[in-house]
Amino acid sequence: MNKQIQDAYIVAALRTPVGKAPRGMFRNVRPDDLLAHALKSALGKCPGLDAAEVEDVIVGCAMPEAEQGMNVARIGLLLAGFPNSVSGMTINRFCSSGLQAVALAADRIRLGEADVMIAAGTESMSMVPMGGNKPSFSPAVFEKDENVAIAYGMGITAEKVAAQWKISREAQDLFAAESHRRAVRATDSGEFKEEMA
């Protein structure tokens, strides 16, 4: 059997600015509205592409509830003015949800299931805190010690990864501080201007 895999290309990539939960500039902005803005902006970066040509919008969301619940992908694309013919799917893989959305969209193109896809991620930790508004793990999931990791926050995850790869806390702090300094310099010099929605 001959299996053809076609190439998938990213033709536009952008993001909204990062806010600071729970007191930042986006604290009163709904995540579906932020998503709609990003979707409109992405479409605007592709001259000649009609919204009706988009076959699916896949959006990753770590805590898909409340203001970012239901099918936030579908809600966001409708708020962005996309036609009803465009479908939307929300996926959850916790902190890697947005990255998984990109992978799924690329896979659909590579497999010949679609030609034009949009992948995105949305999250508002001001409106939906880490773990959600009412976390309720099944107690049975913790009967096996190795399953406890499902409840880890990223801080604990980072400590475990650092221990595994023998990265000191000092090295992490130095790297993070330098990364923030570079981000401030890049922001001040306009380096991120083209990627902002």
In a domain, 68, yes or no: yes
Mean pLDDT estimate for the chain: 92
**Residue range 125-146: average pLDDT?**
87
CB 55 within 8 A of CB 86: yes
How far apart CA 144 and CA 159 sit, in angstroms, is 21
Instruction: Inform me whether the pLDDT recorded for 17 exceeds 90.
Output: no
How far apart CA 88 and CA 43 sit, in angstroms, is 15
Regarding whether 152 and 114 lie in a shared domain, the answer is no
Regarding whether 72 and 10 lie in a shared domain, the answer is yes
**Residue range 121-141: average pLDDT?**
90
Instruction: Inform me whether the pLDDT recorded for 155 exceeds 90.
Output: no
In a domain, 193, yes or no: no
Regarding whether 54 and 19 lie in a shared domain, the answer is yes
Regarding whether 117 and 165 lie in a shared domain, the answer is no
Which of 85, 106, 132 is a domain's end point? 132
Q: How many domains does the chain have?
A: 2
Regarding whether 126 and 158 lie in a shared domain, the answer is no
CATH number, position 102: 3.40.47.10
User: What is the predicted pLDDT for the residue at 153?
Assistant: 72
Q: How many CA atoms lie within 13 A of 44 on its CB side?
A: 13
Query: Residue 171's domain spans which residues?
Result: 148-188
* Confidence (pTM): 0.88
In a domain, 139, yes or no: no
